[in-house]
Amino acid sequence: MKPKVAFFDFAGCEGCQLQIANLEEDVLKLIDIVEIVSFREIMKEHSDEYDIAVIEGSIMRPMDEERLKKIRKNAKILVALGACACIGSVQRMLNQWPIEESKKIVYNNFKETKNNPYFDNFSTKAVDEVVKVDAYVPGCPIDRNEFARVLVALVQGKKPPIPDYPLCVECKKKENVCLFELGKFCMGPITRAGCDAICPTHGNECEGCRGFISHPEERAYTEVLEKYGLSVEEILQRKTMFTYRYVEKTKKEAKKDE
Amino acid sequence: MKIISKKEFLAFIDALIEDVSIDVEGVKAKGEKFVFGPLESSDELRLDHDVTILPPKKYFLPQYETMMTFDLSKPFSVERVENPKERVIIGVHPYDIIAIKQMDTYFLDTHVDDSYLQRRKNTLIIGSNILNVAEKAFFGDMGTGFVDSGYDLMLTDMGDKIAIDIGTEAGEKLLNKYVHSLQEATPNDVQKVRTIIENASAKAKRGLLVKPEGWRDLLEKNYNSDVWKSQAEKCLGCGTCTLVCPTCFCYDINDEIDLNLTTGKRIRTWDGCLLRDFTKVGSGEIFRESMEDRYRHRYNRKGRYLPDMLGFVACVGCGRCSSQCIPDIADPVNLINKIAETSQSIKKSEITPLTTEDKLVSATVEESLHLPRPATLKRVEKLTELETFFEIELDDGCPLGHQPGQFVEISVMGFGEAPISISSAPNGNTFELVVRRVGDVTSKLHTMKPGDKVGIRGPFGKGFDVKALKGRDLLFIGGGLGIVPMRSLINYVLNNRQDFGEVTILYGCKRPCEMLFKDEVAEWETRKDIQFMKSVDKCPEGESWDGEIGVITCLIPKAKFDPKSTIAIVVGPPIMYRFVIRDLLNLGMPEENIIVSLERRMKCGVGKCGHCQINGIYVCKDGPVFNYKDVKDLPEAFT
């Protein structure tokens, strides 16, 4: 029997699901190996009977947490899809300030938002801060072929083939001119590979949307950025966009050390 | 030396490009840098380049290479991918030609890499002498700015005309096919070419304090220098220096399966020893985890291990690592000079010159290096929660032909390949493996049944020297999974009991439920002609145990053997060696009487991929069985 797959979206732009819809004819190949029982971007039907739950988006409210925990109970395998689900992505920038302060600025004490569970935000969480995650498909947006590879691996019973080496490896194999040599800054040296260095290949700086590798050489990397002329604030700014999760982690560890 | 006008030379290149039977690759501009790439017209070709981003190694060992395809809808269908198309590479600098010669030595030595050989034989190299010198290049210091062999044709761009030196018959044939207006070079032309070569080499000197012949000694004396740590602290571990290096050849191999779940391919891709997971084995252990160890390894491999193994310093002074390392710590000139400044006098080492041309001509392929042979699972038995026993027969009906202590690479297509010790004595047409479930391949194996197909390569490595053990007293000390390779020798010894002296077997594991080969162990316990003892670290409630409790070293004082004359065979997890060997030496056992079997990441099994290296030795080729005396001084052996 084909494993049943369901897609769920939380806080995010749904762009990662769109990437999967954009697999086009490969979607037809995918449904040869799995049965899609819920995917609102491409079908009307929905079922709560599934083996693999694919979660897109970050977790922002108690009601999201509840819903996610229910999904976890129903699923044998849970996949975090995209940067929002994997690390919290851009909405994690919010975590720089106390949540009440942000809410005041955004909702301006508008009365409909009070005691309304839809507006009951807490600081941004990645999916694995709420439930156990079995596989990650990183990136903003995801690489749709990587998603297909991960799904195939899960069906095969293999460890999902997500690399744990820096982007530089793929960038060098593509024979790109290093962006540092062009006077640009790039998060490649600490960012997880797997996107085939798509941004640097087109001359754009890597912004770390796939998150850091498991053992990033952050200190050596900061020295490099300083050497190439970035200030401490500018370095922090770059790490804040997609990867504030790691900044938070560093802050927490620093606090512990004190 | 021949001379041709620039116009006619460009017409020659265009004629080559027109010929659809040949791939024409040459140096082109990429922004302000240069790369080797397919030429669409002679206008694109640049002979004034300083250095290319990647070396031409990508043509012989591509970044991603499909080595074979497989089809899981058939019982066992694996096909090698051929690369028959002819290719010409134009604009290869002398230092890169020397690097290709080194590659030839590396890939055509003993085990011939058939994919490499095919690509290499199908390629003509048209070199070019260096007009512009890259800022970080130091081929002048290395003596690699000039070559008199290793190319089919060698060009020197002299402005309005090109000097062509013919290196091989194939090069001459190619030239004569398209060019009909070659002139002999005048003494003046020859002098001009010489001046161009000399100028480049003179410019490419950066004050390297120790010549390559001295690197071996320098690196050996300074293995524990502080320089390694201070450099490694700045290292990003990004692998750039290894990836862009013309003499870094390490690779990894992975299976990719298509969306249909039935067809797929096995892909070889570049790997690098600066990457953290490079030495990671199935069980998760990383043998060179600290950046300092990884950083030091790269230079020692280049300046010490490969010179010892194959007779060349694996650095040609191209300067690619130096110019592409963003923290600027990869520059060999800086590194060697830093160490030299704090070091005493350095001896020159004899480096045997290369004899690669012969190898390229004489290399023949008996069997494909990476292509597995089909085999069938005959018997599958679950031994413990984690370990399963497999009896396997090769489909061609031949015996494996192994020695006790050797290993095989077992493939489950679509999942990958894993090195597994052979646990049976050479006997009959089948062989036996015991596989611990740790990764993709081994997990899949655990779900397989008798009759299922696997792929086998090997046997590989050096096993136990059975002849040398004959007539001797033997002490086997096996910890955990170490009993598996050891069993191949134990069973051999017990099958030929009269050929050996006293035999003692000490077997330890963590807890009773982890004990392997329970039936055989029970038999060993009752045999009168051997001494057998067993221990577990602990016996949790609910399990029963009639042996000793404690780590395996607790058995050593209880065993009766003469430490002076007994040969000890020690196999177990990394941590076990240090303590067992210490106790044996304390009893007065001579170092050369201790035999060990080591585990590392033996990915290719044939001494090419680089993963299993312990300092200067390859575990897959030089081991896994070693005499303790030969490895005890290797800092990376027993960490």
Q: Do A220 and B234 touch (CB under 8 A)?
A: yes
Q: Residue B231: its pLDDT value, please?
A: 96
* pTM score, whole prediction: 0.94
Q: Residue B351: its pLDDT value, please?
A: 62
Domain boundary residue among B460, B495, B529? B460
Q: For strand B2-5 and strand B161-166, is the pairing parallel, antiparallel, or unpaired?
A: antiparallel
Question: Do residues B237 and B290 lie in contact, with contact meaning Cβ atoms separated by under 8 Å?
Answer: no
Q: Is residue B585 part of a domain?
A: yes
Closest chain A residue to B32, measured at CA: A177
CA distances from B119 to B27, B58, B60, B633 (A): 19, 11, 6, 39
Burial profile A91-113: b = 16 or more Cβ within 10 angstroms, e = fewer: bbbbbeeeeeebbeeeeeeeeee
Q: Do A161 and B324 touch (CB under 8 A)?
A: no
Q: Determine how many CB atoms are found less than 10 A away from the CB of residue A36.
A: 21
Shared domain for B380 and B404, answered yes or no, is: yes
Q: Do B238 and A188 touch (CB under 8 A)?
A: yes
Q: Which of residues 55-114 of A touch B (CB under 8 A)?
A: none
Q: Do A165 and B240 touch (CB under 8 A)?
A: no
Q: Does A175 touch chain B (CB under 8 A)?
A: yes
Question: Do residues B638 and B578 lie in contact, with contact meaning Cβ atoms separated by under 8 Å?
Answer: yes
Q: Do A175 and B53 touch (CB under 8 A)?
A: yes
Residue B30, judged by CB atoms within 10 A of its CB (0-12, 13-18, 19+), counts as middle
- Rounded to the nearest angstrom, the minimum Cα separation between B630 and chain A is 34
> Which residues in chain B are contacts of A173 at CB distance < 8 A?
63-64, 243, 269-270
Chain B interface, best mutation among A30, A152, A226, by max B CB count within 10 A = A152
Q: Does B470 touch chain A (CB under 8 A)?
A: no
Name the residue with tokens 């050390």: A257
Q: Which of residues 256-275 of B touch A (CB under 8 A)?
A: 256-261, 269-270, 272, 275
Q: Do B326 and A180 touch (CB under 8 A)?
A: yes
* Half-sphere CA count of A235, side-chain side, radius 13 A: 17
Residues of chain B with pLDDT under 50: none
| Architecture of the domain whose range is A4-156 | 3-Layer(aba) Sandwich (3.40)
> Which residues in chain A are contacts of B269 at CB distance < 8 A?
173
Name the region of B511 (left: φ>0; alpha: ψ -120 to 50; beta: rest).
beta
Name the residue with tokens 């302000």: B32
DSSP character string of chain A: -PPEEEEEE-BS-SHHHHHHHTTTHHHHHHHHHSEEEE-TTT-S---S--SEEEEESBB-SHHHHHHHHHHHHH-SEEEEEHHHHHH-GGGGGGGGS-HHHHHHHHHTT-GGGTT-GGG---S-B-GGGTS--SEEE-BTTB-HHHHHHHHHHHHHTPPP----SBTHHHHHHTTPPPGGGGT----GGGBB--STTHHHHTTPPP--TT-B-SS--HHHHHHHHHHTT--HHHHHHHHHHTTHHHHHHHHHHHHHH-
Closest chain A residue to B239, measured at CA: A169
Domain that holds residue B186: 2-203
Residue B441, judged by CB atoms within 10 A of its CB (0-12, 13-18, 19+), counts as buried
> Which residues in chain A are contacts of B63 at CB distance < 8 A?
173-174
Helices (H), B234-319: 240-243, 291-300, 306-310
Q: Do B326 and A149 touch (CB under 8 A)?
A: no
Task: Give kind and range of the element (H or E) at residue B493.
Answer: helix B483-495
Q: Residue A256: its pLDDT value, please?
A: 84
Question: Do residues B275 and A189 lie in contact, with contact meaning Cβ atoms separated by under 8 Å?
Answer: no
Q: Residue B356: its pLDDT value, please?
A: 54
Shared domain for B294 and B429, answered yes or no, is: no
Q: Is residue B510 part of a domain?
A: yes
Name which of A156, A175, A219 is nearest B414 (Cβ-Cβ): A156
Name which of B30, B237, B259 is nearest A152 (Cβ-Cβ): B259
Chain A interface, best mutation among B33, B51, B235, B236, by max A CB count within 10 A = B236
Q: For strand B407-412 and strand B263-270, is the pairing parallel, antiparallel, or unpaired?
A: unpaired
Q: Do B260 and A29 touch (CB under 8 A)?
A: yes
Q: Assign residue B539 the CATH number of its domain.
A: 3.40.50.80
Question: Do residues A21 and A41 lie in contact, with contact meaning Cβ atoms separated by under 8 Å?
Answer: yes
Name which of A152, A157, A217 is nearest B236 (Cβ-Cβ): A217
Q: Residue B358: its pLDDT value, please?
A: 65
B203-224 tens-digit pLDDT:
999 999 999 999 999 999 999 9
Closest chain B residue to A228, measured at CA: B326
Q: Do A224 and B327 touch (CB under 8 A)?
A: yes
Closest chain A residue to B272, measured at CA: A169
| Phi–psi pair at A15, nearest 5 degrees | -70, -30
Residue type present at position B453: K
| Phi–psi pair at A218, nearest 5 degrees | -65, -35
The 3-state DSSP class for residue B70 equals: strand
Shared domain for B236 and B300, answered yes or no, is: yes
Q: Which of residues 125-154 of A touch B (CB under 8 A)?
A: 148-149, 152
Number of domains chain B is built from: 4
Name which of B236, B440, B447 is nearest A159 (Cβ-Cβ): B440
Residue type present at position B216: R
Which token pair is A197?
A: 């260095």
Contact pairs from chain A to chain B, CB under 8 Å: 104
Q: Do B238 and A152 touch (CB under 8 A)?
A: no
| Phi–psi pair at B240, nearest 5 degrees | -55, -45
Shared domain for B292 and B382, answered yes or no, is: no
Shared domain for B442 and B348, answered yes or no, is: no
| pLDDT of chain A, 258 residues: tens digit per residue | 899 999 999 999 999 999 999 888 888 888 899 999 999 888 888 899 999 999 999 999 999 999 999 999 999 999 999 999 999 999 999 999 999 999 989 888 888 888 899 999 999 999 999 999 999 999 999 999 999 999 999 999 999 989 999 999 999 999 999 999 999 999 999 999 999 999 999 999 999 999 999 999 999 999 999 999 999 899 999 999 999 999 999 888 888 877
Name which of B236, B256, B269 is nearest A221 (Cβ-Cβ): B236
Q: Do B236 and A148 touch (CB under 8 A)?
A: no
Q: What is the mean pLDDT of chain A?
A: 94
B367: CB partners within 8 A, 6+ apart = none
Q: Residue B129: its pLDDT value, please?
A: 98
Task: Give kind and range of the element (H or E) at residue B622.
Answer: helix B619-622
Q: Does A2 touch chain B (CB under 8 A)?
A: no
The structural domains of chain A, with segments of one domain joined by +, span 4-156, 168-257
Shared domain for B50 and B149, answered yes or no, is: yes
Q: Do A166 and B237 touch (CB under 8 A)?
A: yes
Q: Do A220 and B235 touch (CB under 8 A)?
A: yes
Q: Does A29 touch chain B (CB under 8 A)?
A: yes
Shared domain for B320 and B262, answered yes or no, is: yes
Shared domain for B38 and B184, answered yes or no, is: yes
Q: Is residue B619 part of a domain?
A: no
Q: Residue A258: its pLDDT value, please?
A: 74
Shared domain for B449 and B470, answered yes or no, is: no
Q: Is residue B614 part of a domain?
A: no
Q: Do A177 and B53 touch (CB under 8 A)?
A: yes
In DSSP terms, B516 is beta-bridged to none
Alpha carbon distance B253, B113 (integer Å) = 14
B48: CB partners within 8 A, 6+ apart = B131, B132, B157
DSSP character string of B324-355: H-TTS---HHHHHHHHHHTS---PPPP-PPP-
- Rounded to the nearest angstrom, the minimum Cα separation between A97 and chain B is 31
Closest chain A residue to B31, measured at CA: A177
Question: Do residues B238 and A173 lie in contact, with contact meaning Cβ atoms separated by under 8 Å?
Answer: no
Q: Do A169 and B237 touch (CB under 8 A)?
A: no
Residue B127, judged by CB atoms within 10 A of its CB (0-12, 13-18, 19+), counts as buried
Shared domain for B52 and B158, answered yes or no, is: yes
> Which residues in chain B are contacts of A176 at CB distance < 8 A?
53
Peptide bond just before A141 cis, omega within 30 deg: yes
Domain boundary residue among B179, B203, B227? B203
Q: Does B29 touch chain A (CB under 8 A)?
A: no
Q: Do A177 and B63 touch (CB under 8 A)?
A: no
Shared domain for B308 and B397, answered yes or no, is: no
Name the residue with tokens 């007779």: B311
Which token pair is A228?
A: 């190439």
Closest chain A residue to B36, measured at CA: A175
A149-174 tens-digit pLDDT:
999 999 999 999 899 999 999 999 99
Closest chain B residue to A156, measured at CA: B261
Shared domain for B444 and B355, answered yes or no, is: no
Q: Does A43 touch chain B (CB under 8 A)?
A: no
| Nearest residue to B246 (alpha-carbon basis) of B142, B350, B370, B109 | B142
Domain boundary residue among B426, B442, B460? B460
Q: Do B259 and A173 touch (CB under 8 A)?
A: no
